[in-house]
Structure 1
C-alpha cells in the first residue's frame, strides 16, 4: 500500500508542477490546437490553446513509478508493468507525431490513417508478443492467450497468433475510444482518472489474493495474475498524473492532452485489462469511452446507409452541446456516467469474488 501511495503522490506533484511549464514552452513555440470546423462557433475561443499536454501525463506516470522503485519498493520493476508502460509510451509517441503534424500544417488532421494504424500495429504486436513471454516462477506470463472477463475464460483460447490479433484490436479500439472522448475540457482526463482508480483497487485486490500467496494452496477465488502489485503502482501513478493534469485541463482549459495523451491513455487501459485478465470487464468499467466510440461508428453506418445523421454530431458529447447544453454540463454529466460505470464494474468484480467463496 505504501508503494501505491508514493507512486500516486509523486505523479500528482510532478503533473501539477510540470504541466504549467509545458504550457509556457508550448505557448512560446506556437504549439496551439486547431479546432474542427463543425464546432468552430462553440469552440473558436479555444483555438491556439497549447496541446500535446499528454507529455506531462507520461512524464508524471514514469516519475511516480520509478521513484517508487528507487525509494520504497524492495522489488525490481516487473515485466508486466514495464510492458504496460512501454505500450503507453509507444502510443504516446504516435500521438505526439500526430499532434506535431497538426500544428506544423495548421490543420485539424495530423497523421493519415495509414501512418497512425502502422504505429498502433507496431506497438500492439510488440506488446502482445512480449506479453506472452517472461513466465514467473509459477509459470504465469504477463498476459494470457485466453479471453478474460474477471478471470480467464479457458474455453476461449486465441492461441499465440490469435492473441496478437486480439491485442491489436483491443489496443487500437481503446486508444481510439479515448481519443474520441477527448473533445471537451477535462472530459477524457477526468473519466480516465476514475477508470484508473478502479484498476488500482482491482490490481491491489488481486495482489492480496494471488493464488501463489494463499496458505494451504490456492482456492477458486484467488487470482492467477503476474505482478499485480506493480500493476497497481502503474495504475496509481497514471491516475494521479491524470488528476494533476486535470488541474490545468479543467474548463476553461489552459492546455489540451492532444493525441499524445489520449492514444497513450487508451493503450494504458488496454494493457491493464490484458495484464489483469479483465478484458471484458474493462468494457463495463470504461463504459463512457465505449459509448463515445460506438456513437462514431453508428453515425457513420447510419449516414452511409440512409444519408441522414443519427446524432447532430459525433462523438456523442458534441450531440448534446449542439442541442444547447453548456459544455460544463455535458462534462459533469458524462463524468457521472463514467463514475457509475466504474462502480458497476467494481461491483461485478467483487461479486465474482464472493460467488467463488471469497471472504
Structure 2
C-alpha cells in the first residue's frame, strides 16, 4: 500500500512530538542530578536569579530527535538525504556542537565566560565557509529580491552574504534565548513560512525535515514555557540559527530571512547599538540589552514580553509568506 508524502509528514510530526514528551522528563531529572544547571549573570535581572540551577543544554533533545527520525523514516519513505537536506542537517548539528562546547565549558568547567568569543566566531565562520563551498557546487549564486521580483547573480559576493547569514543568524537566535519560551516559540513561528516555501517549490525532503523540527520544538516548548523546567542553552540556540540560515539558503529565500526573522535581528541589533553607543557616550539607549530585557525593565512581565514578541513574529511571518508567494 502506497501512502502520500503528506501522510508520512503527519506520522513524522506525531512521532517527534511523542518522543519529545517521553524523553524530556527523564532528561530534565538527569540534568538536575548531575547539576547541569543554568547560572544567571550577576549583572542580570533580579527576577531571573531564581532560574539559577534550572537544567540547560535541552537543545540536545530537539536536535537529536528530528535528525534520528529523519534518517529512520528515510529507510521506508520517499524522503531521502540529498544535497539540500545534507547542508541543513550539517548546519543544525554543526552549530549545535559549537554551542555544546560552549555550554560544557560553562556548566562542567564552571567558567561563566564559556567558549571565548574569538574561538566561537572562528568556528562559526569555518562552518559558514564550508557550507558555501559545498552549496555552490550544486546551486547558483543568484538571489531573488521580493516585491520587485528581480533575480541577479552575486557571483563571489554570494560568499559574503552566506558568511553574514550564518554568523549573524546564529548569534541573533542566541541573544533571543533569554526568556522562557521566547526563542523556541519564535523559531516555530519563523519556520512555518519556510515550510510553505518548501512545499510550494516541491522540495519535499526539506519540507519533511522542517516538519520534524517544528514538532520537536513544540514538544520542547511544553517544558520550556514559563516557568521553564529546562533551557536550550547555546547548544540549542546556535543549532537553530544555523538551521534557519541553511534553510533560507537552499530555498533561495535569503532576503526574506531578514523579514521573517526580524525579531532575531532586532535582538542582536539592540546589543550592537547598546555596546557601540555606550563606548562612545557612556550612556545607554536601552535600559538593558538584548531588547527583551529592555521591556522587562519597563515593567512588563516575562510572559507579556514573550507573547508580544510572538505576535510580532506572527505578523512578520505572514508578511514574509505573502512576499514569498507573490
Q: TM-score, normalised by structure 1?
A: 0.85
Q: Distance in 1 between matches of 2:111 and 2:289?
A: 19
Note if contact 1:10-1:67 (Cα within 8 Å) is conserved in structure 2.
Answer: no
1:1-359 correspondence runs (5 A): 1-71=6-76, 73-133=77-137, 135=138, 141=139, 144-149=140-145, 154-159=151-156, 162-207=157-202, 228-350=203-325, 352=326
Question: Aligned to 2:74, what secondary structure does the other structure show?
Answer: helix
In the alignment, the residues of structure 2 paired with residue 3 and residue 177 of structure 1 have an alpha-carbon distance, to the nearest angstrom, of 33
How far apart are residue 156 of structure 1 and its match?
A: 4.0
In 2, the alpha carbon distance for the partners of 1:93 and 1:155 equals 34
> What residue is the counterpart of 1:213 in the other structure?
none
Residue 297 of structure 1 deviates from its aligned partner by: 1.3
Kept after mapping to 2: 8 A contact 1:149/1:277: no
Quote the Cα distance in structure 1 between the aligned partners of 2:108 and 2:45. 20
- 1:154 deviates by 4.0
Deviations 1:98-118 (A, max 9, x none): 011111243432100111012
Name the counterpart of 2:3: none
User: 1: CA distance between counterparts of 2:187 and 2:89?
Assistant: 16
Partner Cα separation in structure 2 for residue 3 and residue 131 of structure 1: 27
TM-score of the two chains, using structure 2 as the length reference: 0.93
| Residue number in structure 2 paired with 1:222 | none
Shift of 1:269: 0.7
CA contact (8 A) 1:150 1:277 kept: no
Tell me the alpha carbon deviations over residues 212-253 of structure 1, each in whole angstroms, 9 at most, x when there is no partner: xxxxxxxxxxxxxxxx11111111111111111001000100
Secondary structure in 2 matching 1:300: helix
CA contact 2:59–2:236 (8 Å) conserved in 1: yes
The 8 Å contact of residues 35 and 43 in structure 1, kept in 2 or not, is answered as yes
Superposition deviation, residue 67 in structure 1? 3.2
Q: 1:190 offset after TM fit, Å? A: 0.3
- Matched position secondary structure for 2:152: strand
Q: Give distance in 1, aligned partners of 2:231 and 2:145.
A: 33
1:186-211 superposed Cα distances (whole Å, 9 cap, x missing partner): 1000000111122111110111xxxx
- 1:22-66 deviations in Å (ceiling 9; x for gaps): 212211111101112222411111001000000011012213322
Return the alpha-carbon distance in structure 2 between the equivalents of residues 158 and 321 of structure 1.
44
- Call closer, same or farther: CA 1:234–1:194 in 2, change over 3 Å: same
Q: 1:95 to 1:18 in 2, by over 3 A?
A: same
Give secondary structure in 1 for the equivalent of 2:143. strand
- How many residues in Structure 1 have an aligned counterpart in Structure 2? 320
The alpha-carbon deviation at position 174 of structure 1 amounts to: 0.4
Contact 1:194–1:339 (CA under 8 A) maintained in structure 2? yes
Distance 1:184 1:36, change over 3 A: same
Q: CA RMSD in A?
A: 1.7
CA distance in 1, matches of 2:29, 2:261: 33
**C-alpha distance in 1, partners of 2:146/2:213?**
22
Q: 2: distance between equivalents of 1:75 and 1:255?
A: 32
Distance apart, 1:75 and its partner CA: 4.7
Moved more, 239-248 or 60-69: 60-69
